[in-house]
Copies of this chain bind each other. A is one copy, B any other.
Amino acid sequence: MQNFEYWTPTRIIFGQGVVDKLPETMKRFGKKVLLAYGGGSIKKNGLYDKVKSLLADWEIYELPGVAPNPKFNPSVVDGVKICKEKGIDVILAVGGGSVLDCAKAIAGAAGYDGDPWDVVTGKVPTTSAIPIVDIITMAATGSEYDAFSVISRTETNDKVAYYSELVFPAVSFIDPTYTYSVPKNQMLAGVVDAINHVMEQYFNEDPNDLADGMMEASIKSLIKNLEIALVNPEDYNARAEIFLNCTLACNRIFMVGEAQSGWPMHAIEHALSAYYDITHGVGLAIITPRWMKHILSDKTEARIANFGVKIFGLDPATPVRELAEQTIDATYKLFEKWGIPMCLKDVGIDESRLGEMAKHVADTAGLDQPFVYAPLKEEDILEIYKASL
């Protein structure tokens, strides 16, 4: 077992109607609130009015219009400015992971006198942060239970990961009923992303029984409850399990004591989304079985086969290489059964830029480092793309 540190100081308040507890929570912080939200869906579903009414006694400053893939300019810059000018005590992020990611960057940069970009890029360390409370309305990135955020700066084509232990949300409100209105395709893509988050952690060099078991439980729960929610989008238990899995999938509790893995599938997919703006979860569904097939070797076959036995109930008596191949096939068929386009050509990607993307990933993602589960060179990445056509 690997040595590890684990710390998640966020309080989760989970369930139907929990947002009613917001005033009780907000009382712990000051009166000046920066309310960050996105494109207005919270105005349509009534959550905006509910929050304003619950916080009638607070002094609220608004940061509306935070975009998906939240932008440094204007969102983070404007938010930091409001925090400084008004002396904000607490940031309330209401919406999806992007709004929360933006709130994290604002929280960490607000105490710094220079350019907030210095903090977001890690050029200067985060030494203080405004507390964050969130009402998270999308089962997706797990931002509500980690200290990461991804911030884009359009004018310089930068997309950076910002991390500071100081920006863990203080409190995350999760009411699964807010996901009832998420369209099926988006729910599906979110679940594939969550399954892949767990798979990225599962394929590592130093498994243990407890962590493996938690991850297997999570993937099986995601598959089962997605299939329930696809039939009945308002099945509360199914939506609640999906949300709970998404919340925990990126937090490291499922992989306690296991080795790092390098998250190769995410790195390979990110280029697809960046170059072609395809849905991240769809890109992952396409890449996952091709990555598994590419890394299949004497060294990895037992781990892949074990995945097939545990997740798909394949027969452990089958010879290991055959079992691993069956596992890869079952993974492909699972996503295909859910109606996901399983080839790059189906989502408008041809071979013209595969080489460019492979070079970009090889240059930036460090997938050839020895700690990566199955290290990949540029030509490996290119082969995975080609096999995905």
Contact surface of A with B, Cβ cutoff 8 Å: 1-18, 176, 208-210, 212-214, 216-218, 220-221, 224-225, 236-237, 240-241, 244-245, 248, 253, 256-257
User: Which B residues are in CB contact (< 8 Å) with A253?
Assistant: 253
Determine which of B6, B176, B236, B257 lies in contact with A240 in the assembled complex, contact meaning CB atoms within 8 Å. B257
A310 to chain B, nearest CB (A): 10
User: Which B residues are in CB contact (< 8 Å) with A4?
Assistant: 12, 14-15
Q: How far is the CA of A110 from the CA of B225 in the complex (A)?
A: 48
Determine which of B10, B176, B217, B240 lies in contact with A213 in the assembled complex, contact meaning CB atoms within 8 Å. B217
In the complex the two chains form, is B214's CB within 8 Å of A1's CB? no
Q: How far is the CA of A6 from the CA of B220 in the complex (A)?
A: 23
A121 to chain B, nearest CB (A): 26
In the complex the two chains form, is A14's CB within 8 Å of B3's CB? yes
In the complex the two chains form, is B210's CB within 8 Å of A1's CB? no
A61 to chain B, nearest CB (A): 28
Which of A16, A217, A248 has the most CB atoms of chain B within a 10 A radius of its CB?
A217
In the complex the two chains form, is B5's CB within 8 Å of A11's CB? yes
Can you name 24 A-B residue pairings with CB atoms under 8 Å?
A1-B237, A3-B14, A3-B16, A4-B12, A4-B15, A5-B12, A5-B13, A6-B11, A6-B14, A7-B11, A9-B9, A208-B244, A209-B217, A209-B221, A209-B225, A209-B241, A210-B218, A210-B221, A210-B241, A212-B217, A213-B214, A213-B218, A216-B217, A241-B257
Q: How far is the CA of A381 from the CA of B263 in the complex (A)?
A: 52
Q: Which residue of B lies closest to A239 (CB)?
A: B1
Contacts A208-B237, A236-B1, A241-B208 hold; do A14 and B257 have CB atoms under 8 A apart? yes
